[in-house]
């Protein structure tokens, strides 16, 4: 829209900035298909577009490849909101739950994964595949407070 017009600014504020989401039992978005990456650096595995700021709960199932012989895993991680919240994966499917905050409307949420294995005593490393499936984002609009103004 034309953000030089007050009506467009008011509509944007009402539609995107005044709404706040909180974690709930309601599935807002989901992507159930399995996806994998095999990279020593983080690569995007799933992408979601969140229309509203708020706190979101994300659940997913994930695992890494098993390692055999002299190979040992260095890391196999997936993160949702920040790398500081990265979860370390095992060779078995497990369910993970992460809650995080999105502060801007129309935010792209990229779920990223990476894996690395090495063969001691050498420093040689190779990518270790990580897998994700059954990703669900849970949230619903938070009740508006009586102190909130309206634009109507």
Dist CA 15 CA 147 (whole Å): 18
Q: What is the pLDDT of residue 59?
A: 97
- Please say if the pLDDT value at position 7 is more than 80: no
- Strands 72-79 and 107-118, bridge-based pairing: antiparallel
- Please say if the pLDDT value at position 4 is more than 70: no
Q: What is the residue-wise DSSP string for the chain? A: --TTSHHHHHHHIIIIIS--EEEEEEEEEEE-S-EEE--SS-EEEEEEEE-S-EEEEEEEEEEE----TT-EEEEEEEESS-GGGPEEP-SS-EEEEEEEEE-SSSEEEEEEEEEEEE-TTS--EEE--EEEEEEEEEEEEPPPPTT-----
Over residues 17-76, the pLDDT tens digits come to 568 999 999 999 999 999 999 999 999 999 999 999 999 999 999 999 999 888 988 899
- Strands 94-102 and 130-141, bridge-based pairing: unpaired
Q: How much is the pTM?
A: 0.81
- Residue indicated by tokens 């499917």: 93
Over residues 79-97, the pLDDT tens digits come to 999 988 899 999 999 999 9
CB atoms within 10 A of CB 19: 16
């Amino acid at each position: 829209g034309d953000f030089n017009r007050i009506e467009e600014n008011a509509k944007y504020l009402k539609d995107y900035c005044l709404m706040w989401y909180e974690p709930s039992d309601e599935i807002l978005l989901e992507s159930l298909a399995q996806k994998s990456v095999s990279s020593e650096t983080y690569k995007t595995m799933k992408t979601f577009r969140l229309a509203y700021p708020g706190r979101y709960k994300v659940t997913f199932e994930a695992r890494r490849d098993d390692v055999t012989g002299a190979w040992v895993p260095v890391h196999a991680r997936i993160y949702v909101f920040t790398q500081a919240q990265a979860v370390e994966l095992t060779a078995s499917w497990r369910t993970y739950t992460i809650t995080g905050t999105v502060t801007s409307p129309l935010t792209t949420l990229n779920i990223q994964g990476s894996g690395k294995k090495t063969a001691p005593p050498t420093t040689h490393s190779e990518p270790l595949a990580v897998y994700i499936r059954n990703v669900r984002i849970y949230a619903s609009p938070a009740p508006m407070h009586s102190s909130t103004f309206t634009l109507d």
